[in-house]
Amino acid sequence: MYQKCIENYPNNWDKACLQQKRALTKCSDDNVGILKYVKQQCIKPIEAYDQCLTANPDEPERCIQALKDLHACTEATANAYREQQKTSAEEVKSDS
């Protein structure tokens, strides 16, 4: 959306696209940290799934269990991250 807005308003995009810029910034702030955390915590299932797909390019269905393992890891890790963020935010509020 932000990129499209910039393309549509080349002469005043900095003012016309402020709402889209804020939305993109919020999305990044909310999600980039979690992506890094998941990649760090789930490196083994990520690698196992990637290796399975590389070894079975014509039969990706052979990698279903590796995909399930990766999904379980990412879900558990994402939930733990969100809980950690929630606890940190609550601590900051109580310190204020």
pLDDT (0 to 100) of residue 69: 98
Tens of each residue's pLDDT in the chain, 96 residues:
889 999 999 999 889 999 999 998 888 777 788 888 998 999 999 999 999 999 999 999 999 999 999 999 999 999 999 998 888 877 777 766
pTM over 0.75: no
pLDDT (0 to 100) of residue 68: 98
Closest by CA to 25, choosing from 44, 1, 9, is 1
